[in-house]
Structures are given as C-alpha cells and as structure tokens.
Amino acid sequence: MVKKYVLVSGGVISGIGKGIIASSTGLLLKTMGLKVTSIKIDPYLNIDAGTLSPLDHGEVFVLNDGGEVDLDLGNYERYLDVTLTRSNNITTGKIYRDVIERERKGDYLGKTVQVVPHITDAIQDWVERVATIPVDDSGEEPDVCIIELGGTVGDIESAPFVEAMRQFQFRVGHENFALIHVSLVPTIGSVGEQKTKPTQASIRDLRGLGLTPDLIACRCEKTGLDEGIQAKISMFCHVQPNQVLAVRDCNSVYHVPELLKDQGLVDFLWKRLNIDQTITISAPLKQKGSDMWKKWNQLTSAQERLHDTVTIVLVGKYTNLQDSYASVVKALEHASLNCRKKLIMKWVEASDLEPETRSANPVKYHEAWQDLCSAQGILVPGGFGNRGVEGKIAAAKWAREQKVPYLGICLGLQIAVIEFARNVCGMPEANSIELDENTTTPVVVYMPEISKTHLGGTMRLGARPTEFQAGTENSTIRKLYGGGSTVLERHRHRYEINPELIEKFEAKGLKFVGKDETGERMEIVELADHPYFLGVQYHPEYLTRPLKPSAPFMGLILAATGDLKSHLATL
C-alpha cells in the first residue's frame, strides 16, 4: 500500500505552533476522505513525558494504552478524532534504548554501532512501522502520516532525526514525502516592519542539512504578511509564491484549518503527493470527510457569534504555564461551545488562597478570593506534591458550602474528599499519604500495586472501566454519560481514596457512584443536595473532542449556567 508522509519542522524559535499546523493539515486531508495518522518526534533523552514537570514542558497527555506523551498528541487526537498509541511519540531515549538493547543481543554482529546508519535507520524503521497502525474506527491502515519534528532545526539534539528524515525522503520516494517548514516573520520596531531574515536563515539551515521545504508556513501577527513579503520569501527561499503561507494569529486555533485551506494547502499537497493517481478513496469516506468539514465550519462560525458568557475558575499549582492544563482548557471550550456559551477562564494559583499569602501578599490573596467567589463554576485539576493543597481544599469548601458547581479531577477528587472528611465528618486531621506520610487519618492512600521506588511509567495509567453502582440510576453524572452501566476513561494516578472510610462518607451524603471493576477503588463521587459537586479519579479531559464534549465538563458548564436540570430532562 502506498503511504504518504508529511513532515512538519520548525525554525527560529520553539513553540511556534508546529503542533496546530500539523493537526490542521491532518484534519484537512481527513476531510477529503483520507485516513490520517500522526507521529510526534521529541528529541529529548527522556523515555517519555511522564516525569517531566508541566511547568517545563506543558501537560503530560495520557493515551488509551497508558502511554505518557507530549501534549501535541492530544491535539492530534482531538482534531483527527483518532486513538493513538505510545509508539506515536518518538523520543531520543526510546530510539537509543532500542538500539542499545539490540546491540546487547548481538543483532549488529560485531559492527561498530553509530548514529549513522544505526540510529537513523532505527528512526526510519519506527516511523514506517507506526504509520501502518490503524487509528480510527475503520480498522484500516492510514493513507497519510503527519510527522511533527519537535524542537528547532539546528538544535544539536534533533540532528539525528533531521538526518533520518533526509534519508527517509529517498527511502519512500519523492512523490510520497512532503515537507512543511514553520517559521517566524516578526514585526520589529514602532513602524511595524516585518522581517524575513530569520526565515531566510532557517530555510538556509534546513537546506544545508539536506531537506528542501515544499511549503513555508510563516507565523505572523493578526494582519498577515505585508505586501511584497510573500514574494521576498519566495525569491530568497527558492519556492513559488503559492508555497508561502501566511499563518496569522487567529481568535481561536479552530480557525487555522480554514486559514490554511483558503491558501491552497490541500490543493498543493494533493498535486505534490500525486494522491489522485496513487490512492483510491471510497465514496463513504469522502462523504464522511465532507460531513466532518461541514460540522467543523459550523463549530467555528458558531464560536464567533457567542455572546452569553460562563465564568469558570481553575484552581491549580501550574497556572504560570497554561499549557500545563491544555486538555482541561480544551474540554471546557468544547463543553462551552456545545452549550452555546462563551468561556471566560480565570486562573487562580492555589497557594494564593492560603493564609500565608494573606500576610505575605494581601493584594494577591484578596484578588484570588475575589476571582473564586465571583466564578460560576470551580474546577480543581490534577497535580502532584504539597504546594497549594490547602488552597485547593479551601476552594472545595467554598464550592460545597456556597452551592457553587464544582468539578474535581484526580487530585481534585481527593481534595474534595479530604475537605468533606475534615469539615463534615469530624476528622480534622484528615489528609493524604502523599501530602503527609505520618497522618493519623489517611483519607487518601498509596495504591498497593504501585512502585514506591520507580516513578517513570509506574502509575495506574491508560483507559480503564468505571462501573456505576446499583441504585445510581438517578445520578447526575450517570445521566450525562447516557445512562449506561460502564464508562471507559483514561487514568493517571498512584493514590486512591481509602476504601475503609467509604461507609462514613456515604452516611454523611458523599456518594461514591462509580467504582472500578473490583468494586474496591473509588472512581466517581457525587455530593447529595448540591447543584453539581463531582469528583472523578480519572482524567475525562483526555477524551474530549470539539464535536463530542466530555460529560463531566458538560455537567459543570450546564450547572454553572443554570441549564443542567432542563438538559437532564431532555435525555
């Protein structure tokens, strides 16, 4: 089967938007009826993203198979509506580990193992293997593989991957390999003049490494490229003017596919990859793609017409880098769009709600509490460590007592239970083993099967079933999920609610409506006599889609806008 590959590289600066452009390219090809998969290459030495700080690298995204991967794979899944595997994220650590293991087995038969050809061959073999894995409900091999090369061209750590891709273009053939290079066209000075030199230098570096871009995606400010800039880049970078795309800042990333399509990206790739002559697209897939594009357009046009707002406050410990909560924000956006509401997010650093901040920085303390008290809904996402925990507990207490809609995810569930134990069940010393190893009232305990010495890849990870308990037919969250007896969601945790205390909590009105298949592990908690007070041990944000929002987030938005009861009545 003929496979097409589209490589997306970046220059000048990191974080330039390669992930969104790669996702948008994949979406546009999928709307034409093609089956599309994606690979993200991260040049760091870590085996996976699991042990990286969110403040350093953004959110850790979790896949169905338990893979802890780069947040860009979340973009791919949301845009393309596919289910990827841990193999779709390549790191230097994974490649070197595999090559060294093969060397130890004697697979290289006494040869000197080198970066070229052994590392570069391993990269190419990995890409070809993963590109054949079915990722959608068709169960068929993808037609196109989008490869995003992380980092910036010229980085030392990405050099083996760039060389591997240089060789790969010849391995698969010219008409099966296209390259989109994302570069920056900055606006300098008070006169606002756009400069092309950074892009020229970036393309020169890329061509010097043996790769020639087919399309140059120029990131620029809201006005787009100035007159003459496109022609200048075309002339100095050895491409036609129609191969230079202006990717301006948009009101929403959901507008980027339309922006690229309007500039002819699909038409160019269709001819460049000779898709008409090499791939047969069935009529049902063409229709499915067309319907997908129609719905996407409806989504983006509806977003521009929203006037009614909903204010949600996120109480977290990584709020200095909002990418730490990328999927949570997307899930809120998707739910808000579905409810025809414009989302206003307020970010509150959890430690700012604590008494220590009141004395150290009273202005910050009162601003944080003002944001919390004025919000229509409160969300406490996952996290690790002690910092900010008491602030999160204070937020959960406010939500419970003031009847403000609350959604706690992973640690957010544990926070809600600790707060309830302290202030309702008469357990003032209630705490988590994670936060205080010597607590006399361990409400949250270490899961017995989890390693206490190795942190990488040892949590309870991936898609696992949650079973609604008998007698929960009237549960709000069960109704939002469609009323079934089981839901499948992705997990990432090493601590759980202490099963020995469940009876005490339930006697006071905190109902554990969802448990794992053994009935021993608490998954979903709801508070009786509250508009919407929900905690989930899993991460529902990982499975949200623009056209299929996540049920717990839908519940939060509906409750925050006062529409939950009327919505439930329609189900």
User: Which residues are annotated as catalytic?
Assistant: 410, 539, 541
Pairing of strands 193-194, 187-188: antiparallel
Query: Which residues are bridge partners to 250 per DSSP?
Result: none
State the Cα angle at 190 between 186 and 191, rounded to 5°. 80
Cα–Cα distance for residue pair 156/151, rounded to 1 Å: 10
Contacts of 398 by beta carbon, 8 Å cutoff, 6+ apart: 372, 373, 378, 404
Beta strands in 196-341 (DSSP E): 215-220, 244-248, 309-316
State the Cα angle at 304 between 299 and 305, rounded to 5°. 100
Tokens of 267: 């038409």
Beta strands in 119-221 (DSSP E): 144-149, 177-184, 187-188, 193-194, 215-220
End-to-end CA distance of the chain, in Å? 45
Asked if 23 and 79 count as a contact pair (C-beta separation under 8 A), the reply is yes
Burial class for 112, CB neighbours closer than 10 Å (0-12, 13-18, 19+) = exposed
The DSSP output letter for 450 is S
